[in-house]
């Protein structure tokens, strides 16, 4: 069996990170998960990452700061942001900055899968 696209999940909340990873794996994705943006930046397999599911609000480097750092490094990884802070101004800002999607917690498995599939580069 071939392994599916690699999705990196970055969230400081252990329970959320594990739940998202489990759902994605159950639907055939390869998953690497990270508890911080800094841990993802240290990941040697970053260039193999097909999509990033990224929490916006984290201690240390935030998801938005990670997005800026990836752009600075020339890394073009599609990002699906997740957040518990439903700010109406946030969606247009993150999409304008290049995010593929933003999901507001709580969201359904279907919403997550649809967002990740839509974000994946066409093969």
Q: How much is the average pLDDT of 117-122?
A: 88
Residue 68 inside a domain? The answer is yes
Residue 51 inside a domain? The answer is yes
Residue 112 inside a domain? The answer is yes
Residue 64 inside a domain? The answer is yes
Q: Which of 59-63, 78-82, 119-123 has the lowest mean pLDDT?
A: 119-123
pLDDT on residue 46: 94
**Number of domains the chain is built from:** 1
Q: Residue 77 maps to which CATH number?
A: 3.40.50.2300
pLDDT on residue 1: 43
Residue 1 inside a domain? The answer is no
Q: How much is the average pLDDT of 61-68?
A: 96
Residue 34 inside a domain? The answer is yes
Q: Per-residue pLDDT tens for 8-60?
A: 999 999 999 999 999 999 999 999 999 999 999 999 999 999 999 999 999 99
pLDDT on residue 16: 96
Distance CA 19, CA 41 (A): 22
Distance CA 106, CA 85 (A): 10
Q: With 90 as the cut, is the pLDDT of residue 110 above it?
A: yes
pLDDT on residue 122: 65
Q: Per-residue pLDDT tens for 65-96?
A: 999 999 999 999 999 999 998 788 989 999 99
Residue 90 inside a domain? The answer is yes
Domain holding 37, by residue range, is 6-119
DSSP H or E segment with residue 28: none
């Amino acid at each position: 069996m071939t392994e599916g696209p690699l999705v990196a999940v970055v969230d400081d909340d252990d329970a959320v990170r594990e739940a998202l990873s489990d759902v994605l794996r159950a639907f055939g994705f390869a998953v690497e998960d990270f508890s911080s943006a800094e841990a993802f930046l240290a990941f040697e397999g970053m260039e193999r990452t097909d999509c990033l599911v990224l929490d916006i609000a984290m201690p240390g480097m935030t998801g938005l700061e990670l997005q800026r750092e990836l752009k600075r490094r020339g890394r073009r990884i599609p990002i699906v942001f997740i957040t518990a802070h439903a700010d109406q101004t946030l969606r247009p800002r993150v999409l304008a900055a290049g995010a593929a999607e933003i999901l507001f917690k709580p969201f359904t498995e279907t919403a997550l899968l649809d967002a990740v599939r839509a974000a994946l580069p066409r093969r």
